């Protein structure tokens, strides 16, 4: 039989249990929060460099692109995201190249576009033709993929295998587009990973 004294004791425990759960946070901490807090409370001593992204500089043959103005609707880094789509799909965002690797990637993209231009001008959008043109540049046949991209185009993906680099692009009657990148955060090659969190 439950006595009034036992009931009061159990009800008295309820606020304590609620406070413990609230203090635990239940998943409010984000990746990087601990590291950011640690960096703020333990600054890097003077004279010791921390790893950083290599400086980008104009590459030979590259025309300078104007920097796009920041969109007023873009959330700043201090505002927590309300939509976690971008956060949850970040594993599918290619890793950009920087420094000399970016310039080497730019050179590779220009060579690829130049090799594919005769096919584009002749309206040869057969994946085998594109694959042959790319392997003639010295890329390993088992690292080159070419596939139909829509009704009048072809897509391609090359795992260059150094730095690491990947080149992905499309060719259509209008143009040839390509981009060099350094793989994917959760991937082991040039293919986008199929899952994240």
Is 164 contained in some domain? Answer: yes
Per the model's pLDDT, the better-predicted residue between 26 and 96 turns out to be 96
Let me know if residue 89 belongs to a domain: no
The answer to whether residue 47 scores a pLDDT higher than 80 is no
CB under 8 Å to 148, separation ≥6 — which residues?
A: 125, 127, 154, 155
Summarize the confidence of residues 23-36 as an average pLDDT.
50
With beta carbons less than 8 A apart as the criterion, state whether 172 and 152 touch: yes
Confidence check: pLDDT of 123 > 90: yes
pLDDT at residue 192, rounded to an integer = 79
User: Smallest Cα–Cα separation from 139: which of 108, 179, 164, 163?
Assistant: 108
Residue 101 lies in a domain: yes
Structural domain range at position 160: 95-181
- In tens, the pLDDT along 55-73 reads 777 787 777 664 443 343 4
Residue 138 pLDDT > 80: yes
Count of structural domains, the chain: 1
Residue 137 covered by a domain: yes
The pLDDT assigned to 94 comes to 84
Region of 117 (left: φ > 0; alpha: ψ -120 to 50; beta: rest) is: alpha
The answer to whether position 143 is within a domain reads yes
Do 158 and 167 form a contact (C-beta atoms < 8 A)?
yes
Domain membership of residue 60 (yes or no) is: no
113 in any annotated domain? yes
| 158 is a domain residue | yes
């Amino acid at each position: 039989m439950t006595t009034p004294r036992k009931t009061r004791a159990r009800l008295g425990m309820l606020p304590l249990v609620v406070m413990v759960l609230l203090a635990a946070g239940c998943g409010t901490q984000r990746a990087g929060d601990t590291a950011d807090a640690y960096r703020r409370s333990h600054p890097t001593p003077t004279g010791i460099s921390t790893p950083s992204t290599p400086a980008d500089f104009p590459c030979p043959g590259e025309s300078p692109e104007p920097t796009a103005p920041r969109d007023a609707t873009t959330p700043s880094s201090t505002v927590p995201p309300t939509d976690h789509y971008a956060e949850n799909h970040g594993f599918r965002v290619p890793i950009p190249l920087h420094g000399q690797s970016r310039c080497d990637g730019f050179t590779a993209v220009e060579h690829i576009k130049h090799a594919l231009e005769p096919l584009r001008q002749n309206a040869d959008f057969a994946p085998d033709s594109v694959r042959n043109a790319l392997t003639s540049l010295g890329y390993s046949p088992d690292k080159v993929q070419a596939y139909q991209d829509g009704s009048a185009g072809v897509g391609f993906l090359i795992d260059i295998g150094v730095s690491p680099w990947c080149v992905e692009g499309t060719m259509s009657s209008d143009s040839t587009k390509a981009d060099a990148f350094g793989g994917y955060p959760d991937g082991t090659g040039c293919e986008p990973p199929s899952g994240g969190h």
